[in-house]
Amino acid sequence: MSGLANEHDAINLSQGFPDFLCDEKLISLVEQFMRKGLNQYAPMPGILSLREMIAEKTEQLYQSKYNPETEITITPGGTEAIYAAITSVIHEGDEVIVFEPAYDCYAPAIELNRGVPIYVELNPPDYKIDWNAVKKLVSQRTKMIMINSPHNPTGAVLNANDIRQLQRITQNSDIIILSDEVYEHIIFDGLQHHSILKYPKLAERAFVIFSFGKTYHNTGWKMGYCLAPAELMKEFRKAHQFIVFSANTPIQHAFAEMMKDPSYYFGLSEFYQKKRDYFIRLIEEVPFTVTPASGSYFQCVGYENIAEVKDYDFAIRITKEFGVASIPVSSFYHHGMDYKMLRFCFAKEDSTLEKAAERLQKLIKKKSR
Ligand code: PMP
């Protein structure tokens, strides 16, 4: 969709990335470390000072202790962390429970390792998990359950009861949890992020994955990290070592410095909630159906009042004819389940959102038959 947006000079609210600059301080820190000569391979698990900062943050935010030497690894983005975690524990025939719609790297990572994704479908408008359905799918073959909160693409957020249910279903089992928490700091309306790190019974067999790109507005730097107990992390590093070996050196040094100021990420929910609210207000007159996202920087909308075509076709149409690109939510379901929903990324300058909304105003209600 980004390609199509460029081709048609459309405003690109499709792919998830901010169109504003990251903090100037971060850019000058990277430059500083490059000029200092820190341009060669970092240690395989990442530079120690950054792992120490992450351990400190984890303890402060989630009251959870991770040993920087043995339980924290810096990765080139959350995506590599997800791939390495899956590769380290999933073998032929192992089943992995995946909630759909899902971020698009999950199933390929499972399948490349000859694992079997077992899909649980989540439905609009609230995309709640039916834990009884999950329970029925759990068997001796279940090796892993993947969760993602706040959720891409739907903006849904897991609550304390969801975590209790997950705990109930996996207790007395060896099922590993992969918790994708890349949007940990982007959560709205006073909701709390229920990190798996806060639940020791789950954390003791979990990979928990984060991304600097989402928190510091630089998705193109591809930087993230994984936390896991030592035994799991030992396996993780065996895969990570030969997938990529290590992540970008000067940027690691810059983040280690940047993380000394936690006020940065504490302001993120408020920053993005304002953008969500503004975007929703701007498209108020468009006959979309909107359930405000509870987290992430994505807002899904239903267009059933406007057209009956497939979401894929509708997304292409509004890119070409109206000049606004989005992502059809069916692309996040392996069977292309089509609830006539589009995902818009609101991590954009207000002026970009205004221009997009102005164009979307031209969408009118379909005539009733
Ligand atoms: N998980 C989710 C849910 C995401 O939305 C993304 C990025 N779109 C990632 C993981 C990957 O993060 P990164 O860009 O750091 O690889």
Amino acid at 351: S
Computed from CA positions of residues 75, 76, 82, 84, in that sequence, does the dihedral angle turn out positive or negative?
Answer: negative
Contact present, 120 and 100 (Cβ < 8 Å)? yes
The residue contributing the CA closest to ligand 1 atom 3 is: 152
Please report how the helices 249-258 and 48-62 are oriented relative to each other, as an axis angle in degrees rounded to 10. 40
Residue ranges lining ligand 1, Cβ < 6 Å: 16, 77-79, 103, 148, 152, 180, 182, 211, 213, 219, 222, 224
Please report how the helices 24-35 and 249-258 are oriented relative to each other, as an axis angle in degrees rounded to 10. 130
Structure confidence at residue 369 (pLDDT): 58
Structure confidence at residue 61 (pLDDT): 96
Mutate to test the pocket of ligand 1, among 214, 215, 223, 346 (most ligand atoms within 8 A of CB): 214
Structure confidence at residue 264 (pLDDT): 87
φ and ψ of 161, to 5 deg: -65, -40
Token pair belonging to 191: 């909701």
Expressed in angstroms and rounded, the spacing between residue 181 Cα and the centre of ligand 1 is: 9
CA dist list (Å): 263 to 121, 170, 275: 37, 36, 19
Expressed in angstroms and rounded, the spacing between residue 151 Cα and the centre of ligand 1 is: 10
Owner of token pair 């993947």 = 146
Expressed in angstroms and rounded, the spacing between residue 88 Cα and the centre of ligand 1 is: 19
Contact present, 206 and 178 (Cβ < 8 Å)? yes
Token pair belonging to 154: 């739907």
The residue contributing the CA closest to ligand 1 atom 10 is: 78
Expressed in angstroms and rounded, the spacing between residue 223 Cα and the centre of ligand 1 is: 10
Mutate to test the pocket of ligand 1, among 106, 152, 223, 343 (most ligand atoms within 8 A of CB): 152
Helix/strand number for the chain, H first, E second? 15, 13
**Secondary structure (H, E, C), 174-197:** CCEEEEECCCCCCECCCCCCCCHH
Cis ω before 200 (30° cut-off from 0)? no
The residue contributing the CA closest to ligand 1 atom 12 is: 78
Structure confidence at residue 368 (pLDDT): 66
Owner of token pair 């410095």 = 257
Ligand 1 atom closest to Cα of 180?
A: 1
Expressed in angstroms and rounded, the spacing between residue 148 Cα and the centre of ligand 1 is: 10
Contact present, 230 and 67 (Cβ < 8 Å)? yes
This prediction's pTM: 0.97
Ligand 1 atom closest to Cα of 79?
A: 16
Expressed in angstroms and rounded, the spacing between residue 303 Cα and the centre of ligand 1 is: 26
Expressed in angstroms and rounded, the spacing between residue 285 Cα and the centre of ligand 1 is: 32
Amino acid at 258: M
The residue contributing the CA closest to ligand 1 atom 15 is: 77
CA dist list (Å): 140 to 88, 144, 170, 272: 19, 11, 11, 42
Owner of token pair 């500083």 = 32
How long is the chain? 369
Token pair belonging to 330: 């069916």
| Average pLDDT per block of 10 residues along the chain, 369 residues long | 93 95 97 98 98 98 98 98 98 98 97 98 95 97 98 98 97 96 98 97 98 97 98 98 98 97 92 98 97 98 96 96 96 96 98 97 81
Ligand 1 atom closest to Cα of 222?
A: 15
Paired residues of 141 in beta bridges: none
d(CA 1, CA 13): 9
